[in-house]
Structure 1
Amino acid sequence: MKGSNKATVLTIADKCKNILASNWQGHLNTIKTDAHGSKGNIYTSKVKYIVKKGKPFIWVPEHDLHNVNTIIDERGSFSVASPFPGPLGKLLKSLNKFPVRVALTGDVVPLTDKKAQSVAEFVKEVMLAEEKAVKEFSYTVSGVLSFSDHFSTSRSKNLKELIDGSEKYVIYKFNLSSCMFVDGNGGTREVDFEDVEKCKASLLAPYSAKLIDGINQSEARRRGLTLFCFIYLNVNARDAYMLSLDRKGFDVLGKVFSKAPGDEESEYEWKQFRIPFKEEAWDVESFCLQLVEMEEEAIKMVSSYSGLG
């Protein structure tokens, strides 16, 4: 694919910020304490959160052990993965791979009632804004999202229970002291958390789970991904899934033939490929428009190669 000379991948700080904006749940770790206040092992549970002004705000159920632990020691860590809905999650599990994720360390600080109410109101505003946006999406966007599992990929739906549910929560602000980017193979890279706080999350990020799932649940769109591998990368892929996306392009897991050395039998394996956009996609509309244009372009080019055009 011919494009501009601009970098086709994001900075690590941008990736971290987008991961935080694309998900709504993560794993919180605090230091266990006993009745005498002595510290033991690490306690972990899955919690929901939202990012406001660059800071994660975490909802912990009222009777969760985190609420006791943080009274004694506010230090904690918080891990958030890039969305891996539906078929993508099953594929990654079968390959013993993990989605890329962000690992944060810092202090878990409870909010006053007034600040907690303010954050709860912010969640309501975010939910209403996302629900309004989904209703107003164009036909092109709706076509891409139509195959996605609406509940499991909707941030607004998953945060709704925090506001309307019967369970009570304690809301915490997570004050960052360090940030680590963890790739799919477990490799880590420390990131300046000030850089993470300074950069802005993509407008695509809150909808990335819905977009990824909508594409991966559609056989036609998955065939489109295999065409992209052939046309733009000269790679013959038997199958393909969308792995992640951002304003500069997207990553694909393609099933390609791997020639084995010596007398060993050759077989197919899954490899990751990067497909850049011609122009940066700043929102959901521009992402879907470029995706559809690329599909049409790829079909025409394949038809031309085969003498059918």
Structure 2
Amino acid sequence: MKGSNKATVLSLAQKCKNILASNWQGHLNTIKSDAKGSKQDIYTSKVKYILKRGKPYIWVPENELHNVNTIIDERGSFSVASPFPGPLARLLKSMNKFPARVALTGDVVPLKDKKAQSAAETLKEVMLSEEKAVKEFSYTVSGVLSSSNQLSTSRSENLKELLDGGEKYVIYKFNLSSCMFVDGNGGTHEVDFEDIEKCKADLLAPYSAKLIDGINQSEARRRALILFCFIYLNVNARDAYMLSLDRRGFDVLGKVRSKAMKDEVGEYQWKQFRITFKEEARDVESFCHQLVQMEEEAVKKVSSYSGLG
């Protein structure tokens, strides 16, 4: 197992694709309009979406102002954050940090009847596929997911309302023209459009919110993250949370003592670390299997260090 404090393992394009595939809601911005045309004011609301062939398809409630705005001016922007459920959200807020996010600009194009129907069918397929996969997960995966909050981390649960008939929606295709990656410190990085088009989302991405929350809601797994910091990174952490994950490994936020001046005791601060797998995780099963193996390995190593093994 390789440890690293470098977070830049994936390309920016891959990070963007993973964020888009891991979430199901984002903030849509369109230019406010009136009878005379577009104004410069921006109207923003939270909307739900899916990815189809790598592009966002957005469901906008029928009574939303976006539906009027886009008739006059199709230009818009769409912002999607990396999911940060449960304890992770509270921690990031206390640190005045934000989850990494993707900021897209482009045209918000309404779908005609047949294409809208096709998008709705894809939505059903996405939901059924996820529900089927969750039911068929092994005991190992279920053990990792068992602590997660189903309502806040399940994409299928959150998309159900789009199909339950309670509200009418207009479906849009977002044709992107530019992409920015915004890191946790608010720094912006332009991403090459061609790179975004070429790369595919990580197979773990749709389940990352459930996995991260399942790990962070479990005291035993949080203790294991502390052991990982010690065993694989040679870092003494007082506390730890899973921050993000992908097929190559995961990022951990560890609470470590800062370097102090002479004769001073350093204070504790949260710092990001990277732990890389021995081999890439092909799917959720592989990710959870390697995680459990690491936990067992770390416990054995700590026991041997303390003379108990």
- Please indicate the TM-score interval, normalised by the length of the shorter structure: over 0.9
SS in 1 for 2:163: helix
**Deviation of the 1:40 alpha carbon:** 2.7
**Coordinate RMSD, CA, aligned:** 1.5
**Deviation of the 1:37 alpha carbon:** 2.3
**Deviation of the 1:230 alpha carbon:** 0.3
**Deviation of the 1:33 alpha carbon:** 1.4
Distance in 1 (alpha carbons) for counterparts of 2:161 and 2:82? 22
**1:209 maps to which residue?**
209
1:15-47 CA deviation, whole Å, 9 max, x = no partner?
111110000000111111134324131111110
Distance in 2 (alpha carbons) for counterparts of 1:107 and 1:2? 43
Contact 1:144 1:288 in 2 (8 A): yes
**Deviation of the 1:261 alpha carbon:** 3.2
Matched, 1:52 2:52: yes
**Deviation of the 1:124 alpha carbon:** 0.4
Distance in 2 (alpha carbons) for counterparts of 1:50 and 1:238? 38
Alignment of 1:263-278 (within 5 A): 266-278=266-278
Structure 2 CA distance for partners of 1:74 and 1:139, relative to 1, 3 Å: same
Matched, 1:192 2:166: no
Structure 2 residue runs of 5 or longer lacking an equivalent are: none
Which piece of structure 1 moves more, 130-139 or 31-40?
31-40
Matched, 1:75 2:70: no
Distance in 1 (alpha carbons) for counterparts of 2:306 and 2:266? 27
Structure 2 CA distance for partners of 1:165 and 1:152, relative to 1, 3 Å: farther
**1:254 maps to which residue?**
254
Distance in 2 (alpha carbons) for counterparts of 1:119 and 1:242? 33
**Deviation of the 1:264 alpha carbon:** 6.3
Matched, 1:152 2:152: yes
Which piece of structure 1 moves more, 29-38 or 227-236?
29-38
**2:229 maps to which residue?**
229
1:165-214 CA deviation, whole Å, 9 max, x = no partner?
41111000000100111110011111112211211111100000000000
Which piece of structure 1 moves more, 262-271 or 37-46?
262-271
SS in 2 for 1:164: coil
Contact 2:2 2:277 in 1 (8 A): no
**1:125 maps to which residue?**
125
Runs of 4+ with deviation above 3 angstroms: 259-265
| Identity value in percent | 85
SS in 2 for 1:200: coil
**Deviation of the 1:259 alpha carbon:** 3.2
Distance in 1 (alpha carbons) for counterparts of 2:265 and 2:71? 59
Contact 1:9 1:249 in 2 (8 A): no
Number of positions where the alignment pairs a residue of Structure 1 with one of Structure 2: 306
**Deviation of the 1:128 alpha carbon:** 0.7
**2:143 maps to which residue?**
143
**Deviation of the 1:267 alpha carbon:** 1.2
Q: What letter corresponds to residue 130 of structure 2 in structure 1?
A: E
SS in 2 for 1:289: helix
Contact 1:202 1:282 in 2 (8 A): no
1:26-73 CA deviation, whole Å, 9 max, x = no partner?
011111113432413111111000000011000111010111111111
Which piece of structure 1 moves more, 185-194 or 222-231?
185-194
Q: TM-score, normalised by structure 1?
A: 0.96
Structure 2 CA distance for partners of 1:63 and 1:185, relative to 1, 3 Å: same
Distance in 2 (alpha carbons) for counterparts of 1:38 and 1:108? 15
Contact 2:208 2:245 in 1 (8 A): yes
**1:110 maps to which residue?**
110
SS in 1 for 2:261: coil
Distance in 2 (alpha carbons) for counterparts of 1:163 and 1:34? 31
Distance in 2 (alpha carbons) for counterparts of 1:276 and 1:189? 24
**1:89 maps to which residue?**
89
Contact 1:202 1:247 in 2 (8 A): yes
**1:41 maps to which residue?**
41
Contact 2:85 2:153 in 1 (8 A): yes
Matched, 1:168 2:168: yes
Contact 1:8 1:276 in 2 (8 A): no
Contact 2:38 2:73 in 1 (8 A): no
**1:62 maps to which residue?**
62
Alignment of 1:17-28 (within 5 A): 17-28=17-28
Q: What letter corresponds to residue 99 of structure 1 in structure 2?
A: P
